[in-house]
Amino acid sequence: MVQQRKLHSMTFVDLVINFIMILVVLICIVPFIYMLAMSLSSPSAIVNNQVSLWPVGFNVQAYIQIFTYPNFFRAYGNTLYYTVAGTLIALFMTTLFAYALSKSFLKGQRIVMKLVVFSMFFSGGLIPTYLLISNLHLTGTAWAMLLPFAINQFNLIILINFFRAVPSEIEEAAIIDGLDYFGILRQIIVPLSTPALATIGLYTAVFFWNDWFNGLIYLNTSQYPVMLFLRNIVNGTTMVGDGAGSADKSTIAMSIKSAVIITSTLPIIILYPLLQRFFVAGLIVGSVKG
Chain centre to alpha carbon of residue 119: 21
**Whether pLDDT at 94 is above 90:** yes
267 vs 289, more confident: 267
Tell which residue, 269, 267, 260, 208, has the closest CA to residue 239. Answer: 260
Question: For the chain, what is the mean pLDDT?
Answer: 80
Residue 252 confidence (pLDDT): 62
> Quick one: pLDDT band at residue 88, thresholds 50, 70, 90?
very high
**Torsion 108-111-113-115 (CA) sign:** negative
pLDDT tens readout for residues 135-192: 988 888 889 888 888 888 888 988 898 888 888 888 888 888 888 888 888 888 888 8
Cβ pair 86, 145 in contact under 8 A: yes
Question: Contact, 155 vs 86, CB < 8 A?
Answer: no
- Mean pLDDT to the nearest integer, 60-71: 80
Instruction: With cut-offs at 50, 70 and 90, classify the pLDDT of residue 284.
Output: low
For the chain, the straight-line distance linking the first and the last C-alpha, in angstroms and rounded, comes to: 44
Whether 243 shows a pLDDT value over 60: the answer reads no
User: According to the model, what pLDDT value does residue 23 have?
Assistant: 93
Residue type, 33: I
Question: pLDDT at position 250, please?
Answer: 59
**10 Å Cβ neighbour count for 68?**
11
User: SS3 sequence, 128-145?
Assistant: HHHHHHHHCCCCCCCHHH
